[in-house]
Structure 1
Amino acid sequence: MKTSTSPLKFNDKADFKKAVHKQRKSRKAALVAKEVQASAKIDAYRTDLSGGVISAIALSPIERKAYYDLYTSKAAEVLGIKKSVIDLYGGMKLCPYCQIDTHKDLDHFYPRSVFPELSISSQNLVPACSACNTTYKKTKWGNGNSRSFIHPYFDAVPDVQFLFCTVSLLPGKLYKISYWLKRDPLVSTSVFGLISRHFIELNLEVRYIAKASSEEVPKIARIIEGYASYDDRLRELSNFVNQQCVANLKNTWAHAFHQALSPHMGLICR
């Protein structure tokens, strides 16, 4: 749960206009009919986002289909917009919504089924993993007055910890893991509300538990199995946990998990 701070270029309107006017005649006529309104919506994207209120422009069924289908156009201008988003996202391979899986899809932050006029806005296209895009987020976005998800480009997540993990050791070297949110006094209730909705809608607690259980718990077992003495096990595990706490930013599932693991290292190594 963090912003990607992707260095987007904000020439959406110019790219949009080029793409519209390169479409075949039958589609172009429907697109041009609402070009001014769609361009204004693109221009107001960040204002609408920060205000938490957004409404779709009025489109006839033919116009709606034209804007919806614009995203799947094979025109070089449309393909170029998609490529620019992926390229500008750079080396950040993890999905910015969950920080769990690699991104393989392009998600429409505001779904194109509701806001087809934003179907090729680079501000509205977010590289995302398939789970976030098609399983959890889908066509959800909010209720018209408040948003359900953190926008990876424009929402500045506070630089304080709000994601925490609890680890309990059970008999047989089993781990009981849970994730939870806690509001820091420096985080406003409205921002924390957005963080909470994002956490719930993307089912992040369950997904974080699965990730920690399937990846980090086996790593810990391999570390302690490699050393005969308690002191050696504790030293190696302590080094690993401390390294992971530093390497992973706060409010990521890995940082919270290893932070929670620290008090239990002595017991784990017995």
Structure 2
Amino acid sequence: MRNLKAFSKTCIDFFDEVVSSKNDTINDPTYKYRISLLKPNVEKCYNVYNKNFKNKNLLITKSFGYTNPNKDDLKKLYSYRNSKIQELKKTVTTTHYNRIINTCQNCTINEAKTMDHLLPKEDFPEFSIHPQNLFPSCNVCNGHKSTNWVKNGHPLFLNLYLDPLPLDQYLFVDIKIDLRKKNIETNFKLDNNCGIDKVFFSIIESHYSKLDLLSRFSKNCNDTVSELKNTIKSSLEESISLNTIVNVIKRKCIKDRDHLGVNHWKIILTEKLIEEPKFFKLD
């Protein structure tokens, strides 16, 4: 899990670009005209969002309260396949190495094939295409989140544009290996033993809980376990000592943290596996 860089250009210009990319249809020949009538007020809403985003306080953002048909018109502006939305996704997921992060950073499991509305478009249709309100996500995370985002004045999820992720480890895993059954059981867990701010850690806990991440990590362990076993076996076949292999894997985990994040579940799992003597006895 890592932070992504937020859209940094003029947000209302992006709104205009998306609107320009739309076409009136035979069934709805006045759609773009209706949107043009809504724009002056939408721009005011954007100014409020921009200020709150800059101050890292989206929680105080109030919905304008659009009702149909205007609400539906604004929601209809969003389409994941829209060329401008795709350009936005590419912009925010391109690293300083000019490589694209195509994995959903909300979970670090699946491919990001949609956009999450940080403030849900059902409640905030005015921000359905606000570029700083759109975060690349997978369908699973979007399904878990739905329209939930705040409870009792506290955010339910991390905002990976605004919330700097801790450099301390808070994700851990316990493993149980049964040599007879050739089975590995994993139990991922969160632990604030490094003293991360309690309020922020509660948001981390909520994020992992609401998206069912700990269980999803365990369900997706097989590839990581198999790849690690194959790496070790192949290296041993080349007469490389086990001690050297383990040291190389440890160094790789350290380097992987630079681009995957300190608390990436695959790194946490890999490091735990190579600490377990039984793992090296598995076929």
Long gaps (5+) in structure 2: 23-30, 95-99
Q: Residue 61 and residue 44 in structure 1: after superposition, are their counterparts in 2 closer, same or farther (change >3 A)?
A: farther
Partner of 1:41: 48
One-letter identity of the residue aligned with 1:125: L
Specify the alignment match of 1:256 in structure 2. 268
The DSSP-based 3-state class of the residue aligned with 2:69 is: helix
2:92 aligned to which of 75, 84, 88: 88
Please say which of residues 101-110 and 65-74 is displaced more in the overlay. 65-74
Residue 27 of structure 2 is matched in structure 1 by none
Deviations 1:134-192 (CA, angstroms, capped at 9, x unpaired):
x2122221226111111111110111111111112123221110111111444111100
Corresponding residue for residue 151 of structure 2: 143
Structure 1 equivalent of residue 120 of structure 2 = 111
Q: 2:129 aligns with which of 120, 124, 139?
A: 120
Q: CA RMSD in A?
A: 2.9
Per-residue CA distance 1:71-98 (angstroms, 9 max, x = gap): 2499xxx743541332332111211111
Match in the other structure for 2:66: 59
Aligned-residue sequence identity (percent) comes to 20
Partner-residue secondary structure (3-state), 1:123: coil
DSSP-derived class of the 2:150 partner: coil
Aligned-residue offset at 1:121: 0.9
**Conserved? CA contact 1:244–1:258, under 8 Å:** no
For 2:59 and 2:35, locate their aligned partners in 1 and report how far apart those are by CA, in whole Å: 32
Q: Which runs of 5+ in 1 are unaligned?
A: none
C-alpha distance in structure 2 between counterparts of 1:194 and 1:32, whole Å: 34
Q: 2:174 corresponds to which residue?
A: 166
Which segment is superposed worse, 245-254 or 202-211?
245-254
- 93-102 vs 239-248, which deviates more? 239-248
Runs of 4+ in 1 over 4 A off after TM superposition: 17-23, 223-229
> In structure 2, which of residues 133, 140, 157 is the aligned counterpart of residue 131 of structure 1?
140
Question: 2: CA distance between counterparts of 1:194 and 1:33?
Answer: 35
Verify: 1:205 aligned to 2:209, yes or no: no
What CA deviation, in whole Å up to 9, does each residue of 1:30-49 have, x standing for no partner? Answer: x2363344223332341575
Question: Per-residue displacement from partner, 1:17-57 (whole Å, max 9, x unpaired)?
Answer: 5656886223332x236334422333234157536333211
1:12 and 2:19 are equivalent in the alignment = no
- Are 2:173 and 2:186, in contact at CA under 8 Å, matched by a contact in 1? yes
The 2-side partners of 1:202 and 1:167 are apart by: 22
> Aligned partners of 2:32, 2:85: CA distance in 1, in Å?
18
The answer on whether the counterparts of 1:98 and 1:132 sit within 8 Å (CA) in structure 2 is: yes
AA in 2 matched with 1:242: K
Match of 1:267 in 2: 278
Question: Aligned equivalents of 2:42 and 2:177: distance in 1?
Answer: 60
* Pair 1:26–1:83, CA change in 2 (3 A): same
Distance 1:17 1:187, change over 3 A: same
Q: 1:169 to 1:244 in 2, by over 3 A?
A: farther
- Give SS of 1:61's match: coil
Closer, same or farther in 2 for the Cα pair 1:149/1:85, shift >3 Å?
same
Size of the aligned set, in residue pairs, is 261
Paired position in structure 1 for 2:108? 99
* TM-score after normalising by structure 1: 0.83
Compared CA separation, residues 204 and 244, structure 1 to 2 (3 A): farther
SS at match of 1:103: coil
Please give the alpha-carbon distance, in whole angstroms, between the structure 1 residues aligned to 2:41 and 2:243: 66
CA contact (8 A) 2:52 2:60 kept: no
How far residue 7 of structure 1 moved from its aligned partner, in angstroms, is 5.2
